[in-house]
Amino acid sequence: MAEAVDLKVVGTSPVRPDGVDKVTGRAAFGADLNLPGMLYGKVLRSPHAHARIKSVDVSRALAADGVLAAVSGADFPSDRLDDLARNVIARDKALYNGHAVAAVAAKTQQQAEAALELIDVDYEVLDPVLTLDEAMAAGATLVNESQHTNGDTSKPPSNIAVQQAFERGDVDKGFAEADVIVESEHRVPTAHQGYIEPHACTATMNAGGKATIWCCTQGHFDVRSLTAGVLGKSVGNIKVIPSEIGGGFGGKTIIYLEPLAVKLSELSGRPVKMMMTREEVFRATGPASATWCKVKVGAKKDGTFTAATAWLAYEAGAFPGAPIGPGCMSVLAPYDVPNLRIEGNDVLVTKPRVCAYRAPGAPQSMHAMECAIDELARKLDMDPIDIRLKNAADEGTQAPYGPTFPPIGLKKCLEAAKNHPNYLKPLAEGAGRGLAVGFWFNIGMQSSAEVRIAEDGMVTVMEGNPDIGGSRASMALMAAETLGVPYEQVKAHVGDTESTGFCNVTGGSRTTFATGMAVVQACEDIIAQCRQRAALTWDLDAEQVDWVDGEAVPKPGVNADVKPLSLANIARRAGRTGGPLLGRASLNAQGAGASFSVNWTDARVDTETGKTDILAFTAVQDAGRAIHPAYVEGQMQGGAVQGLGWALNEEYIYDERGALENPGFLDYRVPVASDMPMIDTQIVEVPNPSHPYGVRGVGETPIVAPLAALSNAVRDQLGFRINDLPLSPPRVLAALDEQG
């Protein structure tokens, strides 16, 4: 790992390369591509939350003005039918209101929309399954009649797809040793990522069966393989070109429109563009799970935890896959708890299939546990930071999910919080303060990068991770640092599936860590080549040449009367020393370091209306090392706002038949700028030993703690706890009335 003192470029915050085009409206997003002869595709969506599809007849639509193609589930391969394929287009059953049932392509959007009304679908309407309680009750209507919990066919079918549990120590003994025990139940509603850019793509298939897709996605290599799977094609026949992306937060790690657009293009012989409306985004794309968590935690008088348990039930939507794994693994991750038991349930309901949303699964379970720990601290009359410091995991602590932590920054974050002026500042009259800890694992996975040096020494970095949070700037910073050149000399680009090597999705806070590591290695490859070229020029061995501050120089002690050779010097003469300079690296990154955070907020409830104002919010987080501190702060602030939005007002509201009543930003209330105070940030740096510059992913941890921080602040002011989210004014006022 590079020494902090040596760093020249890493740790500065230059302007992002894509910034100018974005603020001047020139950047091309998913819906911005137009091709000659292009058609518009539209999707017919189920108006029922649960229905058997007896037949779909598109013939009247096909005959309509301007319509050149129409498809239903029957037009797609059925041999390798998996959940994703069924989610892209329904087959025998529609499993949520909004589930795609058929699609058309026509010359204009209006013609396509009109044609949808000519598609005849014969539904047998079934009872919806809309809540965890309903889904888990005995005799519940089954979302999938052939699903057995954990695949165990000796038991009757169930809406519980997966049940998992793990245990450590002796929980009963642990609780028996406790002086104080807190037990509570908390519900968190469905929340959408709320990315501003709706899903959109354009696809064209040529006569040879080769498809090209332009789309907004967090991972175009995933779009390629997933689309290939749904269509029964080889990945070699699909090229995916990512556009700029207007937010994803995990929601664009999956596909919805792409196979439909390719199929419609194949049938019509024309390019086909498909764009979701905001309503479609809400009705048909994957939000975060609604959850029900029961937690219990016990401690000695001095605050030492003796035992803790958590029981989690997460809505998966129409297909299995709620993030119960990470929900279970994160719930107690910040603490050293000798005795614990954690159980998770992945539960089907007739709602859209859930998808990743920043730290998937952690905000909900940790909300419950961090509320319980807050109560425990109150009962013990302990400061909320002190009780957490007492039990905080540190290097060498065995995580509840097995591994032993390498160096982690939780204690440093707690100590930083304790000394932070915002924590020392007295609370405003009548307000409440709440604190909570956040955590996310972060992931590594596969990445590739290529570094090319132009004849003037300009550096081009090519990699395959769509840039959501400013990663091109971070890649350029790491490349510039490694090569020893100024930031301005490096341009980072996101290549399509054919112009750059494979990269896993931009998700799991992995890009700056894993792809960054590949970029650093590709730069090291360039340096090795430059030393070779200089040696050749100077008639030395490569081992006799050093690379210092962006120049090849003879190693100390090597007797050679030569001038240093810069990257530009070497590149200009590359033809004479072996051809263009091209560095590469590919890897499966290991050792993604977990990132911990501490958040606290001051809030004030108007007790006559139930409305909560956020007065102040501070986020402290371990970034390992902040490559681009301003963008790290941006992640911390954005995550805080999303977490607060979830805690304040965001929720899906369904009618009794399972139709979403608030599929738009008027009634699905994300916070607006004026709802938020300045989100103060403090970056803590406990370098990750597995990354050349010490990076930990920072993108997901920030959304985790705000939910409980706000719950705890409201509890602090009101003197009683409201267990469930959101803390919307009607819920808070009803709770106040109940208290009398």
Partner 1 sequence: MAGYAYLAPTNVDEALGALEEAASVGQRAQMLAGGTDVLVQIRSVDKGPRTFVDVKHVEEANALSMTDDELFIGAAIASAVLNENARLKSILPGLVESADLIGSTQIQGRATIGGNLCNSSPAGDTIPALIACGAVCVIASPNGNREVATEDFVTGVGTNVLEPTEFLVGFKIPRPKGKTSDAYLRFIPRTEMDIAVCGAGVALTLDDDGTCTKAKVAIGAVAVTALPVPEAAAALVGTKVDDDALHAAAAASTAAAKPIDDKRGTVEFRKQVVGVLTRRAAAIARDRALAR
Helix axes 516-538, 471-483, angle to 10 degrees: 30
Nearer to partner 1, 290 or 359 (CB): 290
* Token pair listed for 248: 């994803």
Q: Judged by CB under 8 A, does residue 675 bind partner 1? A: yes
**From CA 376, how far away is CA 368, in angstroms rounded?**
13
**Closest separation in Å from C-beta 159 to partner 1:** 26
Q: Which is nearer to partner 1, 247 or 729 (CB)?
A: 729
Q: Is 739 in the site for partner 1 (CB under 8 A)?
A: no
Residue 661 sits in the site that holds partner 1 (CB under 8 A)? yes
Count of residues near partner 1 by CB under 8 A: 23
Q: Least distance to partner 1 from the beta carbon of 672, Å?
A: 5
Of positions 394, 653, 689, 720, contacts partner 1 by CB under 8 A: 653
Q: Which of 662, 677, 682, 724 binds partner 1 (CB under 8 A)?
A: 662
What one-character-per-residue DSSP string does 291-359 give? EEEEEEEEE-TTS-EEEEEEEEEEEEETSS--SHHHHHHHTTTTB--SSEEEEEEEEE-SSPPP---SS
Q: Does 67 bind partner 1 (CB under 8 A)?
A: no
Q: For partner 1, give the closer residue by CB, 45 or 86.
A: 45
If we measure between CA atoms, which residue out of 131, 344, 327, 352 comes closest to residue 254? 352
Under rule CB under 8 A, residue 667 binds partner 1: yes
| 729 near partner 1 (CB under 8 A) | yes
Inter-CA distances, 304 with 385, 414, 599, Å: 13, 16, 21
Residue closer to partner 1 by CB (options 175, 195) is 195
Indicate whether 552 belongs to the interface with partner 1 (CB under 8 A): no
Give which of 13, 9, 64 is closest to 42, Cα–Cα: 64
Return the residues of window 93-152 that contact partner 1 according to CB under 8 A. 110
Output the smallest distance, CB 651 to partner 1, in A: 9
CB of 619 to partner 1, least distance (A): 21
Q: Does residue 672 bind partner 1 (CB under 8 A)?
A: yes
Shortest spacing between CB 670 and partner 1, in angstroms: 9
Residue owning tokens 């990750």: 688
Give how far Cα 689 sits from Cα of 1, 5, 216, 685, Å.
Answer: 7, 16, 34, 12
- Which residue of 138, 666, 738, 740 would you call a contact of partner 1, by CB under 8 A? 666
Q: Which of 8, 584, 611, 657 lies at the binding interface for partner 1 (CB under 8 A)?
A: 611
Interface stretch with partner 1, choices 52-60, 268-276, 450-458, 606-614 (CB under 8 A): 606-614
432: helix, strand or coil: strand
Beta carbon nearer to partner 1, 413 or 616 = 616
Q: How far is the CB of 166 from partner 1 (least distance, A)?
A: 39
Nearer to partner 1, 451 or 648 (CB): 648
Minimum CB distance to partner 1 smaller for 115 or for 648: 648
| Count of CA atoms in the C-beta half-sphere (13 A) of 337 | 36
Shortest Å distance, C-beta 671 to partner 1: 7
Distances (CA, A) of 152 to 63, 146, 162, 163: 48, 11, 10, 11
Which residues are 102's β-sheet partners? 44, 72
The candidate with the shortest Cα–Cα distance to 320, out of 345, 344, 347, 343, is 347
Question: From the CB of residue 239, how many other CB atoms can be counted at a distance below 10 Å?
Answer: 17
Q: How far is the CB of 608 from partner 1 (least distance, A)?
A: 5
Please, what is the minimum distance in Å from the beta carbon of residue 184 to partner 1? 24
Separation CA 39–CA 55 (nearest Å)? 26
- Inter-axis angle of helices 220-231 and 258-268, nearest 10: 60
Under 8 Å between Cβ of 257 and 276: yes
Q: Which secondary-structure segment (H or E) carries 645?
A: helix 629-648
Q: Is 65 among the residues that bind partner 1 (CB under 8 A)? A: no
Q: Which range in 163-171, 520-528, 615-623, 659-667 contacts partner 1 by CB under 8 A?
A: 659-667
229 vs 663, which CB is nearer to partner 1?
663
Among 610, 639, 692, 699, binds partner 1 (CB under 8 A): 610
Compute the distance between CA of residue 233 and CA of residue 254 in angstroms, rounded to an integer. Answer: 18
Element (H, E) at 411: helix 410-418
Q: Which is nearer to partner 1, 315 or 650 (CB)?
A: 650
Q: How many angstroms separate the CA atoms of 632 and 294, rounded?
A: 33
Q: Does 728 bind partner 1 (CB under 8 A)?
A: yes
Per-residue mark of binding to partner 1, 554-593 (x: CB under 8 A): ----------------------------------------
Considering only the stretches 28-36, 312-320, 370-378, 727-735, report the one whose residues sit in contact with partner 1 under the rule CB under 8 A. Answer: 727-735
- Regarding 609 and contact with partner 1 (CB under 8 A), the answer is yes
60, 555, 584, 669: which one binds partner 1 (CB under 8 A): 669
CA distance 388 to 599: 13
Question: How far apart (Å, rounded) are the C-alpha atoms in residues 100 and 192?
Answer: 19
Site membership for partner 1, residue 724 (CB under 8 A): no
* Residue number, 32 or 675, with CB nearest to partner 1: 675
Beta carbon nearer to partner 1, 573 or 611: 611
Beta strands 160-168 and 180-188: pairing type?
unpaired
Q: Which is nearer to partner 1, 543 or 667 (by Cβ)?
A: 667
Handedness of CA 376, 379, 383, 389 (dihedral sign): negative
Report phi then psi at 166, rounded to 5.
Answer: -145, 155
Among residues 602, 632, 629, which one has the least CA distance to residue 701?
632
* Residue 671 binds partner 1, judged by CB under 8 A: yes
Residues of this chain that bind partner 1 (CB under 8 A): 110, 608-611, 648-649, 653, 661-662, 666-667, 669, 671-672, 674-675, 728-730, 733-734, 737
